[in-house]
A = this chain, B = another copy of it.
Amino acid sequence: MRTLEPVVTTPTYELRPIGHVESSITDRETAPKQGFEGAPEAWLVFDPDVADGIRDLAVGSDVFVLTWLHRAERDVLAVHPRDDPRNPETGVFSTRSQDRPNPVGLHRVRIAAIDGLRVRVNDLEAFDGTPIVDVKPVLSGGR
């Protein structure tokens, strides 16, 4: 594991969570490595002040959920993918490691149900309590 030397980088930007994930995943050891490997359903719980922003989310649609992986280590630049030492050490920007300089999680999920500020989604790999920072529609071509 290589680490990042502390440096002064300016400017920086402030992420303000818009909600959080409710999930049965509480333990890093048992979490699936990717959402399609059997992650359970989870709820996106939005803050009341962004209600206008989520008003057009629709059941059945695919969205990208962006989270802040608050348990990640930010000083990591190379990892053994999937935490398996048999995998060659790889630069983090070629992996989906949680540990990376800006641990923004990118999750493509399908909306299963909507109940006010609570949105149930399939296949979200994120710890219970993970902050949500954005939601975006999936465009044609998976963009």
Contact = CB atoms under 8 A, between A and B. Distances in A.
Given A16-B12, A93-B57, A52 B104 contact: no
Contact of A66 (B17, B49, B54, B104): B104
A94 interface: yes
A26 to B, nearest CB: 19
Contact of A18 (B5, B54, B102, B107): B102
A100 interface: yes
Given A15-B12, A102-B18, A92 B53 contact: yes
A106 interface: yes
A59 interface: no
A85 interface: no
Most buried by B among A16, A63, A66: A16
Contacts of A139: 34, 96
Contacts of A106: 64, 66, 106, 136, 143
B68 A137 contact: no
B77 A36 contact: no
Interface of A: 2, 4-5, 7, 9, 11-18, 34-36, 47, 49-50, 52-58, 63-64, 66, 68, 70, 77-78, 90-96, 100-102, 104, 106-108, 131, 133-139, 141-143
